């Protein structure tokens, strides 16, 4: 066997000339080359074209004019040949056109594979190509030769090395009449050009502009109106004379996506933050803050102003922290959106314990010193500014399941921008959320319009324990959808033990016992957190979830002319659940969908799903809820408002 392989390699290195054909403006021949590290049953041959000075031929996408080379082979049995290994082309301008190709000289490599060296006998190549200077001439070469008589040439190796084989990771986006390529590159870019495989997409003669963004580079390429992309964007990108392959999915901007400016995003964020105060997920925490302000009614103006400002600082710090975490996660390649923390059973479990603890403390009037007893500033020591800051932080955490009107567009815009834009938008969102309390800091006299402190406050404080318990129950339901039943039982046992310790704390009088019980409480919490860390998100079965959505759902339904309404939702999104109860699950809405043959689909984002986030981003959103409607005759889908009513849904669907 070794003897046969050596003989085969000697056969490839025989220095005989194959026939060279003069086609009029080029000499065309076949050459061969076998690299030392090649497999013994494969080698390269090349179509060599030595053209007259200043004449050129074309790459597979010729640009604004021209056409690629075509070769038809006649090979022995057991021998096969690849498609062309296209070397990186050059720009060949011919004002006002731009073409891609090779000037004066080129070798087109092909890989030959065979089963046995004895099969390598006769080969014929029928070669058609277009060659141009000031005029273009279609020329043809027919070569009838043998593998043995081909010239062995290291020039072929040089042209094989001009074929890129490293893929550059690229995020591709079609934004109106611009193709946007985003990628990482460590060095300063002096020159860059993208040669696209597909024809009739880009305007070849237009300049391609590149920009340095915060964490990447952006290349903008002008395109035809409404270009029809293939499933993948492919081509060669040349950066500082180094060539890389591009093989990327491409996302197309929908006309239904709301394009906004940074000023609009800042305004929308502020209004959305203001409205967020009225959302049901925030009510339990905000209610505590309202009580704390009432308790300050007889205090000094300075104290009221200080508590208002510190609460607002807690809100702003939390929004900026969330924005920073989102930026860091996106920079690391993670797919995240608004409310991402509640996709983690760890965070949901901890929040359920915290809410239950707050409820017990409010109901039982337990004093644990500087702990959660002081949350919201309710208690005898109204100078505890840390509690006001903590209330602001907690209010933002529990607000994350809600998306207020205007918020979706603003956050969706923020998360695709550099951090220099993302952070101010989240800051504007925080300012909107904190605005009512900042207003009190400027006008402390507003407190006097609230009812005077009294015994009724103690009763109201105990009443507010029940919204906390309701929030804890809701979080436990979310946890049950994310984790196993065993993990849920462990969490319930921890809550039971915490309840017992707090009850026992109120019954003992000895100082050492009062000191030990909080330590036991801390140990239970640490043990439960350790159990949370070992939880994997539960995969929801088809019979367990209504999810029938996939990333191809919209394309498939459109191709069948099937109307649809897609509900992007999550169990932890209170706005989503409220919309479902008051609108989407109503009998009239269901009957309307059935009568008009509108397919209703649920895309459940309770657990992390990068495909759902990809579609949310396509529509300019980074979180749920999102409601997308389309029917035959509509050019693009429409997005329904974030807050729904039964009449609003019916009127919107009737309008189209």
What pLDDT was estimated at residue 334?
56
What CATH number did the domain enclosing 240 receive? 2.60.40
The answer on 357 and 450 residing in a single domain is: yes
The answer on 378 and 427 residing in a single domain is: yes
The answer on 347 and 266 residing in a single domain is: yes
The domain boundary, picked from 533, 561, 579, lies at 533
The answer on 571 and 604 residing in a single domain is: yes
β-pairing, 42-51 vs 178-183, is unpaired
- pLDDT of residue 414 exceeding 70, the answer is yes
The domain boundary, picked from 160, 188, 213, lies at 160
| pLDDT tens for each residue of 579-593 | 888 889 888 999 999
Cis peptide before 44 (omega within 30 of 0): no
- pLDDT of residue 540 exceeding 60, the answer is no
Strand runs (DSSP E) across 133-216, as ranges?
136-146, 151-152, 171-175, 178-183, 192-196, 209-212
The answer on 23 and 154 residing in a single domain is: yes
Q: Give dist(CA 481, CA 483) in Å, integer.
A: 6
| pLDDT tens for each residue of 26-67 | 999 999 987 544 456 888 999 999 999 999 999 999 999 899
What pLDDT was estimated at residue 420?
78
Strands laid side by side in the 232-239 sheet = 192-196, 232-239, 242-252, 171-175, 178-183, 217-222, 209-212
Among 345, 437, 348, 429, residue whose Cα is nearest residue 391:
437
Residue 306 domain boundaries: 262-533
- Which helix or strand (DSSP H or E) is residue 331 part of? helix 301-331
Q: Which token pair is 68?
A: 């690629």
Please, which residues have CB within 8 angstroms of residue 426's CB and are 6 or more apart in sequence? 269, 319, 320, 322, 323, 411, 414
The answer on 458 and 329 residing in a single domain is: yes
Residues 418, 430: contact at Cβ < 8 Å?
no
Q: Give dist(CA 25, CA 129) in Å, integer.
A: 11
Q: Give dist(CA 219, CA 98) in Å, integer.
A: 18
- pLDDT of residue 405 exceeding 90, the answer is no
| pLDDT tens for each residue of 123-149 | 999 999 999 998 899 999 999 998 888
What is the per-residue DSSP string for 593-648?
HHHTTPEEEEEE-SS--HHHHHHHHHTT-SSS-EEEEE-TT-SS-EE--SS--HHH
Position 541 in a domain: no
Position 165 in a domain: no
- pLDDT of residue 388 exceeding 60, the answer is yes
For the chain, the 3-state helix, strand and coil shares in percent, each to the nearest 5, are 45, 25, 35
More confident residue, 349 or 113: 113
What pLDDT was estimated at residue 156?
93
Kindly state the average pLDDT of the residues 435-457: 71
Strands laid side by side in the 626-630 sheet = 599-604, 564-569, 626-630, 638-639
Q: Give dist(CA 461, CA 455) in Å, integer.
A: 10
Kindly state the average pLDDT of the residues 467-494: 81
The answer on 392 and 443 residing in a single domain is: yes
More confident residue, 257 or 485: 485
What CATH number did the domain enclosing 646 receive? 3.40.30.10
The answer on 180 and 153 residing in a single domain is: no
What pLDDT was estimated at residue 447?
64
| pLDDT tens for each residue of 268-323 | 889 888 888 777 666 666 666 666 666 665 556 777 788 888 888 988 998 888 88
Total tally of structural domains belonging to the chain: 4
Among 421, 182, 448, 139, residue whose Cα is nearest residue 293:
448
What pLDDT was estimated at residue 256?
41
Residues 529, 350: contact at Cβ < 8 Å?
yes
What CATH number did the domain enclosing 142 receive? 2.60.40.1250
The answer on 492 and 601 residing in a single domain is: no
Return the minimum-mean-pLDDT range out of 220-234, 505-519, 529-543. Answer: 529-543
- pLDDT of residue 357 exceeding 90, the answer is no
- pLDDT of residue 250 exceeding 70, the answer is yes
- The DSSP call for residue 377 is G
Strand runs (DSSP E) across 335-412, as ranges?
none
Position 619 in a domain: yes
Per the listing, tokens 């603003």 go with: 410
Q: Give dist(CA 475, CA 577) in Å, integer.
A: 13
Per the listing, tokens 């390598």 go with: 120
Position 494 in a domain: yes
What pLDDT was estimated at residue 367?
52
Position 548 in a domain: no
The domain boundary, picked from 219, 252, 285, lies at 252
The answer on 468 and 367 residing in a single domain is: yes
The count of other CB atoms within 10 Å of the CB of residue 374 is: 25
Q: Predicted confidence band at 159 (pLDDT cuts at 50, 70, 90)? A: very high
Residues 219, 180: contact at Cβ < 8 Å?
yes
What pLDDT was estimated at residue 84?
96
Strand runs (DSSP E) across 224-348, as ranges?
232-239, 242-252
Return the minimum-mean-pLDDT range out of 85-89, 375-379, 489-493. Answer: 375-379
Q: What percent of the chain has pLDDT over 90?
A: 25
Q: Give dist(CA 479, CA 491) in Å, integer.
A: 9
- Output the pTM of the full model: 0.48
What pLDDT was estimated at residue 619?
83
* Sign for the pseudo-dihedral over CA of 260, 261, 264, 270: positive
| pLDDT tens for each residue of 89-129 | 999 998 888 999 999 999 999 999 988 878 888 899 999 99
Q: Give dist(CA 610, CA 488) in Å, integer.
A: 26
The answer on 360 and 425 residing in a single domain is: yes
The answer on 408 and 273 residing in a single domain is: yes
């Amino acid at each position: 066997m070794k003897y046969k392989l050596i003989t085969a390699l000697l056969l490839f290195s025989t220095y005989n000339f194959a026939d060279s054909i003069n086609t009029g403006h080029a000499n065309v021949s076949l050459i061969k080359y076998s690299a030392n590290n090649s497999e013994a049953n494969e080698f390269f041959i090349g179509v060599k074209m030595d053209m007259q000075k200043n004449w050129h031929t074309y790459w597979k996408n010729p640009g604004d004019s021209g056409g690629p080379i075509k070769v038809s082979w006649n090979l022995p049995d057991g021998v096969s040949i690849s498609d062309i290994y296209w070397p990186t082309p050059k720009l060949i301008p011919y004002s006002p056109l731009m073409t891609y190709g090779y000037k004066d000289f080129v070798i087109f490599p092909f890989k030959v594979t065979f089963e046995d060296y004895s099969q390598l006998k006769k080969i014929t190549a029928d070669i058609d190509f277009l060659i141009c200077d000031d005029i273009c001439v279609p020329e043809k070469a027919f070569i009838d030769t043998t593998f043995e008589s081909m010239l062995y040439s290291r020039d072929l190796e040089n042209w094989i090395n001009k074929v890129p084989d490293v893929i550059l990771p690229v995020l591709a986006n079609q934004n109106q009449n611009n193709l946007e390529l985003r990628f990482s590159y460590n060095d300063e870019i002096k020159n860059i050009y993208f040669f696209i495989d597909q024809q009739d997409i880009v305007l070849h003669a237009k300049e391609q502009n590149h920009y340095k963004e915060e964490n990447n580079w952006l290349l903008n390429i002008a395109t035809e109106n409404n270009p029809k992309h293939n499933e993948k964007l492919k081509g060669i990108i040349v950066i500082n004379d180094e060539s890389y392959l591009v093989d990327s999915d491409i996302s197309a901007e929908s006309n239904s996506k709301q394009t906004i400016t940074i000023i609009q995003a800042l305004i929308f964020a502020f209004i959305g933050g203001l409205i967020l105060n009225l959302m049901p997920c925030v009510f339990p925490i905000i209610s505590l803050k309202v009580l704390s302000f009432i308790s300050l009614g007889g205090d000094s103006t300075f104290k009221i102003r200080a508590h208002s400002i510190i609460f607002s600082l807690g809100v702003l710090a939390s929004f900026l922290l969330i924005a920073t975490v989102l930026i860091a996660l996106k920079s690391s390649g993670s797919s995240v959106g608004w409310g991402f923390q509640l996709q983690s059973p760890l965070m949901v479990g901890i929040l359920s314990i915290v809410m239950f603890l707050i409820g017990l403390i409010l109901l039982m009037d337990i004093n644990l010193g500087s702990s959660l007893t002081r949350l919201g500033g309710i208690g005898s020591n109204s100078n505890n500014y840390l509690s006001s800051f903590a209330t602001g932080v907690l209010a933002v955490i529990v607000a994350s399941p809600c998306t207020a009107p205007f918020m979706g567009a603003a956050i969706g815009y923020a998360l695709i921008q550099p951090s220099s834009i993302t952070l101010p938008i989240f800051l504007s969102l925080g300012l909107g959320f904190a605005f009512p309390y900042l207003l009190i800091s400027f006008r402390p006299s507003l407190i006097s319009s609230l009812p005077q402190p009294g015994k009724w406050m103690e009763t109201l404080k105990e009443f507010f324990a029940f919204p906390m318990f309701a929030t804890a129950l809701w979080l436990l339901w979310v946890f049950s959808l994310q984790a196993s039943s065993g993990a849920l039982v462990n969490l319930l046992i921890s809550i039971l033990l915490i309840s017992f310790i707090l009850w026992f704390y109120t019954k003992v009088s000895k100082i050492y016992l009062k000191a030990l019980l909080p330590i036991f409480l801390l140990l239970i919490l640490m043990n439960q957190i350790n159990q949370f860390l070992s939880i994997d998100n539960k995969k929801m079965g088809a019979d367990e979830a209504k999810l029938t959505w996939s990333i191809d759902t919209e394309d498939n339904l459109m191709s069948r002319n099937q109307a649809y309404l897609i509900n992007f939702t999550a169990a932890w999104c209170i706005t989503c659940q409220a919309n479902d109860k008051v609108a989407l699950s109503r009998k009239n809405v269901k009957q309307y969908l059935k009568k008009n043959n509108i397919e209703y689909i649920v895309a459940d984002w309770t657990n992390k799903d990068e495909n759902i986030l990809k579609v949310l981003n396509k529509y300019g959103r980074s979180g749920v809820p999102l409601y997308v409607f389309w029917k035959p005759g509509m050019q693009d889908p429409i997005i329904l408002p974030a807050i729904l009513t039964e009449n609003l849904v019916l009127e919107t669907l009737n309008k189209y």
